[in-house]
């Protein structure tokens, strides 16, 4: 098979294989984008390859392999390209420098075995790097074609071009092919493999992998019509809850910013509700005048009692909000922006395996007259982060575990307990990670 495929798709009944080239994404009359590639690959009945062709002659084909479910397919197709073009086949494996010598030896053995399965000469390349993506990009500059096998996490996503691989594709030069094997993929462990306690290096590698795959930037989701399309295709509704306690100086701007950008201009958010905790100032009146519903958390489900605290307000807000996706944003932020909402919703709409999203900040954030460089304060750096690193190391990749901006799926939020006070942020992280695993949690730079 040559990478110089015609635009569109081709099928082979004998080998049950589909090949498709990237095309400009069309739009409907209402302006919403339609991604035919994603529709084709929701549940492919056969092996599939997506090709981004380039006019440059192919002298070298690079195949990065990590032993994923599509690795053999990637090698087989790359070998076919090399046979037709006379190009050299280069197989790349990237070792994490933090893994033990024993783990590296085991990986190297598997790499040699896998790269020996093709019937063309192979040049093996091994690199040490903590960032797989950056290592692939650097090495790809030396080749005219890159063939990528879909990773295990990618295989479980309806949107085959998930955010981690999409970010990689944007930076790869020349011809690019992404392949995906047919059929369901199981993550069941080898029953013959002996149980072993995870050492510190392995735990660090797991956190690094989570950080690379589940950390996003809000600008990746700035196409609001695309998010609306994803929302409508999945039949989801979205609620934005704004907890308040004496926020008369900021609540008006917060409501107007979100309502104008996310409800009036595009129908991304279906409802905005202010959950007030008995403000003694004009917070409630200002919010109502801005055009949103205001509820007092003390009046929601009174038969279960009334407690003070942010967690109490958030838990009761689940009863007042109607959406399938729930987003909460603190209302004491002066320099508010719509990205504080659409940035949190993006991963939930793009990946059904992500259930809970935390926000963090890498730019100055203004709380009244105070600026915070990265959204974290003394409580985070002196208490929360050391505690997580010591007792819950799998959560150590979270940049700002106590941030007040987060979103989740209703069914998940209704299945975990809420602390009544300000421990709600940490409590939700611990409960969701324990019940659903770290794969279900993501974070977004807002």
Are residues 164 and 113 both part of a single domain?
yes
Winning range, highest mean pLDDT, from 26-40, 89-103, 164-178: 89-103
Boundary-marking domain end, from 196, 231, 259: 196
Lowest mean pLDDT across 19-33, 155-169, 239-253: 19-33
Q: What is the pLDDT of residue 33?
A: 37
Residue 351: φ, ψ to 5°: -140, 110
Q: CA neighbours within 13 Å on the CB side: how many for 1? A: 25
73 near 47, Cβ under 8 Å? yes
370: Cβ–Cβ under 8 A, 6 or more apart, which residues?
none
Q: What is the pLDDT of residue 157?
A: 43
Report the distance separating Cα 432 and Cα 428, nearest Å. Answer: 6
Report the distance separating Cα 358 and Cα 344, nearest Å. Answer: 7
Give me 87's structure tokens.
């190009």
Q: How confident is the model at residue 444 (pLDDT cuts 50, 70, 90)?
A: very high
Residue 202 lies inside a defined structural domain of this protein: no
pLDDT per residue as tens digits for the range 188-225: 333 333 333 445 667 778 888 898 889 999 999 999 99
Are residues 118 and 258 both part of a single domain?
no
Report the distance separating Cα 425 and Cα 69, nearest Å. Answer: 36
Q: What is the pLDDT of residue 203?
A: 74
Spatial CA neighbour of 444 closest among 400, 391, 414: 400
Are residues 150 and 16 both part of a single domain?
yes
Q: What is the mean pLDDT of the chain?
A: 80
The rounded percent of the chain whose pLDDT value lies above 70 is 75
3-class DSSP state of 165 = helix
Predicted confidence (pLDDT) at residue 177 exceeds the cutoff of 80: yes
Statement: the pTM of the whole predicted model exceeds 0.75: no
Are residues 190 and 222 both part of a single domain?
no
Are residues 252 and 386 both part of a single domain?
yes
Q: How confident is the model at residue 134 (pLDDT cuts 50, 70, 90)?
A: confident
Name the domain count of the chain: 2
Residue 82: φ, ψ to 5°: -65, -40
Are residues 155 and 254 both part of a single domain?
no
Q: How confident is the model at residue 87 (pLDDT cuts 50, 70, 90)?
A: very high
Boundary-marking domain end, from 134, 164, 196: 196
Predicted confidence (pLDDT) at residue 22 exceeds the cutoff of 60: no
Q: How confident is the model at residue 351 (pLDDT cuts 50, 70, 90)?
A: very high
Residue 2 lies inside a defined structural domain of this protein: no
Are residues 420 and 346 both part of a single domain?
yes
404: Cβ–Cβ under 8 A, 6 or more apart, which residues?
328, 329, 330, 425
Spatial CA neighbour of 115 closest among 151, 80, 66: 66
Q: DSSP assignment of 364-384, as one string?
A: -EEETTEEESSS--HHIIIII
Predicted confidence (pLDDT) at residue 178 exceeds the cutoff of 80: yes
Are residues 137 and 284 both part of a single domain?
no
317 near 297, Cβ under 8 Å? yes
Boundary-marking domain end, from 196, 228, 245: 196
Q: How far, in whole angstroms, is CA 402 from its chain's centroid?
A: 19
Q: What is the pLDDT of residue 113?
A: 84
Q: How confident is the model at residue 242 (pLDDT cuts 50, 70, 90)?
A: very high
DSSP β-bridge partners for residue 242:
274
Give me 234's structure tokens.
């999945």
Place of tokens 């090399």: 82
Are residues 161 and 275 both part of a single domain?
no
Residue 308 lies inside a defined structural domain of this protein: yes
Predicted confidence (pLDDT) at residue 4 exceeds the cutoff of 90: no
pLDDT per residue as tens digits for the range 90-130: 999 888 776 777 777 888 888 888 888 888 999 999 988 87
145 near 174, Cβ under 8 Å? yes
Are residues 305 and 178 both part of a single domain?
no
Q: How confident is the model at residue 269 (pLDDT cuts 50, 70, 90)?
A: very high
Are residues 143 and 245 both part of a single domain?
no
Predicted confidence (pLDDT) at residue 155 exceeds the cutoff of 60: no
* CATH number assigned to the domain comprising residue 180: 3.40.50.620
Give me 96's structure tokens.
């994490």
As a whole number of angstroms, the longest Cα–Cα distance in the chain is 77
Residue 106 lies inside a defined structural domain of this protein: yes
Residue 249 lies inside a defined structural domain of this protein: yes
* CATH number assigned to the domain comprising residue 395: 3.90.550.10
DSSP state of 438: G
Spatial CA neighbour of 227 closest among 75, 317, 325, 345: 345
302 near 252, Cβ under 8 Å? no
Place of tokens 């929360």: 384
Lowest mean pLDDT across 80-84, 180-184, 332-336, 437-441: 180-184
Average pLDDT value for residue range 65-90: 87
Residue 374 lies inside a defined structural domain of this protein: yes
Residue 211 lies inside a defined structural domain of this protein: no
Are residues 272 and 398 both part of a single domain?
yes
Report the distance separating Cα 355 and Cα 415, nearest Å. Answer: 12
**Euclidean distance between the first and the last CA atom of the chain, given in angstroms as a whole number:** 43
Domain that holds residue 178: 9-196
Residue 206 lies inside a defined structural domain of this protein: no
């Amino acid at each position: 098979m040559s990478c110089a495929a015609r635009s569109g798709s081709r099928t082979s009944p004998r080998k049950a294989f589909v090949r498709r080239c990237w095309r400009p994404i069309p739009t409907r009359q209402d302006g919403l984008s339609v991604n035919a590639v994603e529709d084709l690959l929701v549940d492919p009945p056969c092996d599939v390859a997506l090709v981004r062709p380039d006019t440059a002659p192919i002298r070298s084909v690079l195949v990065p392999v990590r032993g994923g479910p599509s690795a053999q397919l990637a090698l087989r197709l790359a070998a076919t390209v090399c046979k037709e073009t006379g190009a050299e086949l280069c197989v790349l494996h990237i070792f994490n420098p933090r893994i033990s010598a024993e783990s590296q030896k085991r990986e190297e053995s598997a790499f040699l075995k896998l790269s020996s399965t093709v019937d063309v000469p192979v040049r093996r390349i091994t690199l040490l790097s903590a960032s797989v993506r950056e290592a692939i990009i650097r090495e790809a500059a030396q080749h005219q074609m890159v063939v990528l096998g879909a990773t295990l996490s990618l295989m479980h996503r309806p949107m085959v071009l998930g955010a981690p691989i999409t970010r990689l594709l944007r930076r790869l030069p020349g011809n690019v092919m992404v392949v995906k094997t047919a059929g369901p993929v199981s993550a069941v462990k080898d029953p013959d493999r002996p149980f072993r306690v995870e050492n510190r290096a392995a735990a660090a590698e797991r956190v690094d992998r989570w950080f690379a795959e589940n950390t996003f930037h809000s600008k990746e989701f700035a196409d609001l019509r695309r998010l609306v399309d994803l929302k409508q295709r999945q039949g989801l509704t979205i609620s934005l809850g704004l907890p308040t306690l004496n926020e008369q100086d900021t609540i008006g701007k917060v409501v107007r910013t979100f309502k104008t950008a996310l409800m009036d201009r595009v129908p991304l958010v279906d409802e905005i509700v202010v959950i007030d905790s008995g403000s003694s100032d004009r917070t409630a009146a200002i919010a109502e005048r801005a055009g949103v519903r205001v509820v007092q958390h003390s009046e929601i489900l009174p038969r279960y009692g009334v407690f003070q605290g942010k967690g109490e307000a958030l838990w009761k807000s689940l009863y007042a909000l109607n959406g399938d996706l729930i987003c909460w944003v603190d209302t004491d932020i002066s320099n508010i922006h719509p990205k504080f909402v659409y940035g949190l919703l993006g991963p939930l709409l793009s990946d059904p395996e992500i259930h809970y999203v935390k926000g963090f900040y890498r730019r100055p954030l203004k709380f009244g007259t105070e600026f915070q460089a990265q959204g974290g304060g003394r409580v985070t750096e002196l208490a929360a982060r050391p505690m997580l690193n010591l007792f819950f190391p799998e959560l150590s990749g979270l940049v700002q575990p106590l941030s007040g901006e987060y979103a989740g799926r209703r069914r998940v939020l209704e299945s975990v307990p809420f602390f009544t006070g300000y421990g709600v942020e940490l409590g939700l992280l611990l409960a969701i990670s324990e019940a659903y695993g770290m794969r279900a949690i993501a974070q977004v730079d807002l």
